[in-house]
Amino acid sequence: MTTDTMNTEPAVDETAQMRLWHRVSQFLFREARLLDEWRLREWYDEMLTDDIRYLVPATDVRGEPADALGLIDDNAARLRQRIEQILNGEVWCENPRSRTNRMISNVEIVADRGTHLDVAANVVVYRFGHGRSDCYVGKFRLELAVEGESFRVRRRLVVLDHESLYEHGKLSIIL
Amino acid sequence: MTIELQRPVDGQIVFDDPENLSFRVDRRAYTDDDVAAQEITKIFDRCWLYVGHESEVPELGSYVSRDVGGRPVVMARGSDGVIRVLANSCPHRGALICSQSTGQARSFRCPYHDWTFSNQGDLVGVPLPDGYGPGFRKSDFGLARHRSDSYRGFVFATFDPEQPLTLTEHLAGATEYLDLIADQSEVGMEVIQGAQLHGARANWKLMMENSVDIYHFRALHKRYVSYIESLGTMAPRRRGGFARALGRGHGANELVPAAARPLAYWTPMFPPEVRSRMEATAARFVERFGAERAQRITGANRALMIFPNLMIIDAIGITIRKIDPVSAGQMSITSVALAPQDEDPDIRELRKSHYLTFLGPAGFATPDDIEIIESCQRGYLNRTLRHSDLSRGMAKEVPETTDELPAREFWRQWDRLMHDDDREEGHHLTRRAERQGGQRR
């Protein structure tokens, strides 16, 4: 795991840091909005790198043991498939589409590595549909590639805090 | 969600009519609270139930704690190397003596009064022992040891001291299929860390039926079929294969793979560089087992249903799925992946990666299974329709995998146990024709 300290020198202008933090936060809020509005292709095309990896570990493991099986391990091609399946109505539990509300908070730039940032944030996703209301609570561990004034997500790890998905049964949306 | 039908379920539930090729199940079997309560006493309190795999407790003192048949237990490998299934409840006042889901320990200590038990279940320490009378003996207060046994690494327990069957007798014809799975490694199979823990708002038996039903594959799992086709693997339209009833409520399907198999069945969905290695593995299996059995081990998919609540699916990966009733309309599901211990690291990565495309709460197939059985459970609210039909393939000499023979075998055993007449041997001889249906070749 990454360290808790920002990789900064004392001389760095605090306003620059705040601007960066603001841009990262805005980026994450926009991502949440696109996902909530089911603009998944736009999200995929505009906000992710070509070598994106989207991971959701199993709920019964702590940390990120390399040899453990998870719940989701998507590369770009598989994530694209996931998106097309959802948008084409082939995912029965998202047809009709559920309503979702993603709340992003505790956004923190854990490390600024120049070409990319390590970002941590908390996420709560409410999902309503098919007579159900589900709530997914987790932590984002993101690697953002810096692209001029904006970013693209290269690694998107979502660690769920639930002990199990017993209440939810399934995870049919993108967290 | 409440279900108002409260007619007493004293009448017939399973309508098995071979003469008229009709097999129906009263839907109250899925919705009625009394039926759910009776299942606990007549099935889960008596049957051999799956607990876990020996590889989950590899070292002396390794343990896992989990619920089996609604009862908290600890499966522990004692310092003597013996795997035991112990009640996870202090004999003193009842608290859980183990609250970690997995670990390694020489002893378990009840946090309530510090009673301490060895990892073999013996009571070894009681604080302030002088408070007890002279008749108090620690040997009377060990952790309850449930009767347990294992077959090829799969550990089962029964809570019925009178259970007349040994584990092997209970498994009946299912042992043939467990062998086909256990034989996939010379050094042994292991459970991969990371369980998929989820559930469904549906009766547990719907997941059992669903897990062994191939008929729904092309209809419900269109998106998975398109996914594997996008990777250059064409799922055969008619899968062929055969369905079997294995006795004692167990059943299986065996069929041509729809996709690759990480053991030794390469298709273009796997990278070309592993192809020759997989073919070499397949050749080694031919040497070890002969061509016919090797082909069955490496080149066929199977779904094995072990009554009452265990499914082992051997396809794009091997999943062990333990399905537990919580109430009439709610179940919990625990799925883990099983793999050869001696698998190459890159093939293990392929296995895990492709496992996730089909299986688990976020796969490209399992969420649709969950959704559809929850949909069935909702559909039962319309009580105008009283029965579900499970008659597919009754007319056939050799039922196919798209037939419902394994489900019928499940229900026949369910019916026998619910009526307490499973111990009359005559019942095992009835409907011999269908029981043996689907014998290979």
Asked if residue B210 and residue B133 are part of one domain, the reply reads no
Total domains in the fold of chain A: 1
pLDDT score for B197: 95
Whether residues B367 and A170 touch (CB distance < 8 A) is answered with yes
Asked if residue B236 and residue B147 are part of one domain, the reply reads no
Per-residue pLDDT of B140-193, as tens digits, reads 999 999 999 999 999 999 999 999 999 999 999 999 999 999 999 999 999 999
What stretch of H or E contains B77?
Answer: strand B71-77
In a domain, A63, yes or no: yes
C-alpha distance from B232 to closest chain A C-alpha (Å): 14
Asked if residue B221 and residue B154 are part of one domain, the reply reads no
Asked if residue B404 and residue B285 are part of one domain, the reply reads yes
Distance (Å, rounded) from C-alpha B341 to C-alpha A39? Answer: 43
Whether residues A169 and B199 touch (CB distance < 8 A) is answered with yes
C-alpha distance from B284 to closest chain A C-alpha (Å): 26
CATH number, domain with residue A107 = 3.10.450.50
Mean pLDDT (whole number) for B13-42: 95
- The phi, psi pair for B330, rounded to 5°, reads -145, 135
In a domain, A6, yes or no: no
Least confident of B67-76, B220-229, B348-357: B220-229
CB distance A55 to A156 below 8 Å? yes
In a domain, B269, yes or no: yes
Per-residue pLDDT of B100-154, as tens digits, reads 999 999 999 999 999 999 999 999 999 999 999 999 999 999 999 999 999 999 9
CATH number, domain with residue B272 = 3.90.380.10
Asked if residue B200 and residue B147 are part of one domain, the reply reads no
Quick check: A165 contacting B, CB < 8 Å? yes
Q: CB neighbours of B55 closer than 8 A, spacing ≥ 6? A: B153, B188, B189, B190, B191, B341
Band of residue A35 on the pLDDT scale cut at 50, 70, 90 = very high
Quick check: B67 contacting A, CB < 8 Å? no
- The phi, psi pair for B238, rounded to 5°, reads -105, 120
Asked if residue B361 and residue B266 are part of one domain, the reply reads yes
Helices (H), A48-169: 76-87
Distance (Å, rounded) from C-alpha B388 to C-alpha B10? Answer: 18
User: With 70 as the cut, is the pLDDT of residue B4 above it?
Assistant: no
Structure tokens at A95: 């047809």
Distance (Å, rounded) from C-alpha B49 to C-alpha B143? Answer: 19
In a domain, A166, yes or no: no
Q: The complex's ipTM?
A: 0.86
User: With 70 as the cut, is the pLDDT of residue B440 above it?
Assistant: no
What stretch of H or E contains B314?
Answer: strand B310-314
Which residues does chain B have within 8 Å of residue A67's beta carbon, measured at their own beta carbons? 192-193, 348
Band of residue B312 on the pLDDT scale cut at 50, 70, 90 = very high
Distance (Å, rounded) from C-alpha B276 to C-alpha B283? Answer: 10
Among B28, B2, B6, B3, which Cα is nearest to B15's?
B28
Q: Please state, as a whole number, how many other Cβ atoms lie within 10 Å of the Cβ of residue A66.
A: 7
User: With 50 as the cut, is the pLDDT of residue B439 above it?
Assistant: no
In a domain, B13, yes or no: no
pLDDT score for B214: 86
Per-residue pLDDT of A54-98, as tens digits, reads 999 999 987 667 789 999 999 999 999 999 999 998 888 898 999
Asked if residue B267 and residue B197 are part of one domain, the reply reads yes
Least confident of A102-106, A149-153, B238-242, B354-358: B238-242
In a domain, B5, yes or no: no
Per-residue pLDDT of B369-410, as tens digits, reads 999 999 999 999 999 999 999 999 999 888 888 899 999 999
Quick check: B337 contacting A, CB < 8 Å? yes
Where would I find the beta strands (DSSP E) of chain A? Answer: 48-57, 70-74, 99-112, 116-129, 132-147, 150-160
Q: In what order do the strands lie in the sheet with B107-109?
A: B107-109, B116-118, B123-125
Distance (Å, rounded) from C-alpha B33 to C-alpha A86? Answer: 36
Asked if residue B276 and residue B410 are part of one domain, the reply reads yes
* Boundaries of domain holding A35: 14-160
User: With 60 as the cut, is the pLDDT of residue B427 above it?
Assistant: no
Q: First and final CA of chain A: distance in angstroms? A: 21
User: With 50 as the cut, is the pLDDT of residue A1 above it?
Assistant: no
Q: Please state, as a whole number, how many other Cβ atoms lie within 10 Å of the Cβ of residue B99.
A: 11
Q: Which of residues 220-259 of B touch A (CB under 8 A)?
A: 220, 222-223, 226-227, 230
C-alpha distance from A24 to closest chain B C-alpha (Å): 28
Distance (Å, rounded) from C-alpha A142 to C-alpha A163? Answer: 22
Q: What is the dihedral of CA B281, B285, B286, B289, to 10 degrees?
A: 180
In a domain, A170, yes or no: no
DSSP class of B334? E
Band of residue A8 on the pLDDT scale cut at 50, 70, 90 = low
Distance (Å, rounded) from C-alpha A128 to C-alpha A134? Answer: 6
In a domain, B259, yes or no: yes
* Boundaries of domain holding B193: 186-435
Helices (H), A12-62: 14-36, 40-47
Whether residues A60 and B348 touch (CB distance < 8 A) is answered with no
Total domains in the fold of chain B: 2
User: With 60 as the cut, is the pLDDT of residue A3 above it?
Assistant: no
Asked if residue B412 and residue B331 are part of one domain, the reply reads yes
pLDDT score for B434: 57
Q: CB neighbours of B364 closer than 8 A, spacing ≥ 6? A: A81, A82, A85, B221, B223, B224, B227, B357, B358
Structure tokens at B424: 């009359």
In a domain, A173, yes or no: no
Nearest to A166 among B227, B332, B360 (CB): B332
In a domain, B97, yes or no: yes
CATH number, domain with residue B67 = 2.102.10.10
Asked if residue B372 and residue B307 are part of one domain, the reply reads yes
Distance (Å, rounded) from C-alpha B14 to C-alpha B11? Answer: 9
Asked if residue B237 and residue B373 are part of one domain, the reply reads yes
Asked if residue B406 and residue B260 are part of one domain, the reply reads yes
Interface size A-B, in CB pairs within 8 Å, comes to 111
Residue B38, Cβ density class (10 Å: 0-12 exposed, 13-18 middle, ≥19 buried): middle
